Structure 1
Amino acid sequence: MRPPMKRLSLIASALVLAGCSTMNPRPVVDIAGPTYVAPQVVEAPVVSNGAIFQATQYRPLFEDHRARLVGDSITVQIVEKVSASQKSTSSIDKSGKLAAEVTALPGIASNSFGRASAAGSSSNTFEGKGSTENTNDFSGTITAVVTGVLPNGHLLIAGEKQIGVNHNVDVLRFSGQVDPRAIQPGNSVASAQIANVRIEHRGRGAQADAQGIGWLGRFFLNVLPI
C-alpha cells in the first residue's frame, strides 16, 4: 500500500471510531450543582476566651452528635419513590340528514314533472385514547460529608461510594441541601427531606458495557428510517 493511501486509511479509521464513540453519549447527572448564590467567605477570628459558646466550633453539650460544621458526616437514607399516571379519553360523534321534495309549483300542473325529490346525509365520528405511566423506586444508604454551611444554617452535603468487584465498579453519588431541623437522632436524614437532591447510580466495567448496544447496531439504528 502506498504511503498516501495508508495515511488516508488511518484517518478514515480514526473518523469512524470517533463517530461511533459519539453515537451513544452517556447522560450526565449534575452533582452538587450550586442552586444558590454563595456568600463571600469571611474568616472569623479565633478567640480563646474560655467561653462555652464559640461561633466557629459550637456544639451543644446536651445533645447527641449531629452534623453542623463543614467536614461533619451525616447518614442519608435514600428513599425515593415517585409514581405518576395520566389518562385521557375523547369522543366526538356528529351526524346530519337532509331531505327535500317538490310536489307543486305555481302555474305548473302537479303531474307535469312527476315527483322531484332530493336527499343527503353526513356523518362524522372521532375517538381517541391515551395513557402515560411512570414509576421510579430507589432505596439505599450513603454517608455524606458537609461541604458548606449557608447563612441560614442549612447544610450542603455530598457523598460518593464506589464498590469494585472483579472487573466491575458500582458508583453511587449523592448531593443536596439539608435543613438541620430535619436531622433525626442518630445523625440521619431521609432523602425526601433534602432539597435539590442529585443522585447518580452507575456501573463501570464489562457488566455495564453489556447493557448497551454495539456500535454497529447503533449505526444501523441511526441510519435506517424504520
Structure 2
Amino acid sequence: MRLRHPAATVATCLAACALLLVLEDCQAAESLYNPASFRPLVADRRAAAAGDIVTVLVYESSSATTTADTNLNRNNTLGIQAQANARQHGLNLGVNNDFDGGGRVQRAGRVLAQLSVAVTQVDANGDLWIRGEQEIELNSDRQHIRIEGRVRPADIANGNSVQSNRIADLKLSYVGNGDLAERQRPGFWSRVMTWLGF
C-alpha cells in the first residue's frame, strides 16, 4: 500500500472543504436577474414603473355638426250663421297659427401639444396610469394643459413617447386665462340680454 504525502492529503482536504462551502453558498444564492426591473443596456429606456416619465404627443381633432328644422301649421275656422226676420246674420272666426323654426350647431376643435407626465401607478396587467400638467405664461396670457389616463406599455414608442389617441380613459383639459381669453368672452350686457332671451 502506497502512502500519500501529508501535504497532498491536507491540500485535498482543504479543496474538499472549499468545494462544500461553495456548494452550500450556491444553494442559498439568489439570482441577480429580476424580470420586473430588468432593463437592457442597449435598449431605449421606456417608462415602466411608478415615478417614471413619459412624453405625451397630443394630436386631438374633433368636429361635430347638428341641424334641426321644424315646421308646424295649424288652421282653425269657426263659422256661425243665424237667420231672423228675413235678415241673415253671420259670424266667421278664423285662427291661423304657423311656426317655422330651425337651428344649426357646428363645433370644431384642435389641440396640438407635447408634455411630459409621470406614471402614478402600475396595474396588475402592466398598464400604466399617467397624470401631468403644463402651464405656460406668455405676455399675461396663461395656458394650462392637464392630462391623465391609462397606457399600455406596448403603445409607448422607442423614444419613450405615446400619442394621445393611444391613451385609454383620457381626460384632457386645455384652459386659457388672460387678456386674449377675456376678449373672446361676450360682454356683461350681452350675457344679460342672452339670459333674458333677447
Change (3 A) 1:123 1:155: same
Q: What is the distance in 2 between the residues matched to 1:123 and 1:164?
A: 60
> In the aligned structure 2, how far is the partner of 1:163 from the partner of 1:100?
77
User: Could you tell me which of 51, 66, 78 is aligned with 2:46?
Assistant: 66
What is the aligned partner in structure 2 of residue 81 from structure 1? 61
Q: For residue 157 of structure 2, what is the amino acid of its counterpart?
A: Q
Q: Quick one: distance in 2 between partners of 1:174 and 1:145?
A: 10
Are 2:91 and 1:91 equivalent residues in the alignment? no
Aligned match of 1:197: 171
More helix by share: 2
Equivalent pair of 1:177/1:197 in contact (CA under 8 Å): no
Q: Which residue does 1:49 correspond to in 2?
A: 30
Q: Is the 8 A contact 1:158 1:175 kept in 2?
A: yes
User: 1:144, 1:158 within 8 Å by CA — same for their partners in 2?
Assistant: yes
Q: Distance in 1 between matches of 2:138 and 2:92?
A: 81
TM (normalized to structure 1)? Answer: 0.54
Higher strand fraction (1 or 2): 2
Alignment of 1:1-226 (within 5 A): 49-50=30-31, 52-55=33-36, 57-59=37-39, 64-99=44-79, 113-161=86-134, 172-194=145-167, 195-200=169-174, 202=176, 208=178, 211-212=181-182, 221=188
Q: Is the CA contact 2:53–2:119 (under 8 Å) kept in the aligned structure 1?
A: yes
After superposition, the CA RMSD in angstroms is: 3.8
Aligned partner of 1:35 in structure 2 is none
**Deviation of 1:166 (Å):** 8.1
How far 1:81 moved relative to its partner?
1.5
Using the alignment, how far apart are the partners of 1:90 and 1:210 within structure 2? 38
Query: What CA distance in whole angstroms lies between the structure 2 residues aligned with 1:121 and 1:210?
Result: 56
Instruction: Percent identity, please.
Output: 26
Shift of 1:188: 1.9
Structure 2: 5+ residue stretches without partners: 1-28, 194-198
Residue-pair matches, total:
160
Separation in structure 2 between the aligned mates of residue 65 and residue 130 of structure 1, nearest angstrom: 53
Secondary structure at 2:104's aligned position in 1? strand
Q: Which amino acid aligns with 2:107?
A: N
- Rg larger for: 2
TM-score, normalized by length of structure 2?
Answer: 0.60
TM-superposed deviation, 1:146: 1.7
Change (3 A) 1:130 1:170: closer
- Per the alignment, in what secondary structure is the counterpart of residue 86 of structure 2? coil
1: CA distance, partners of 2:100 / 2:170: 42
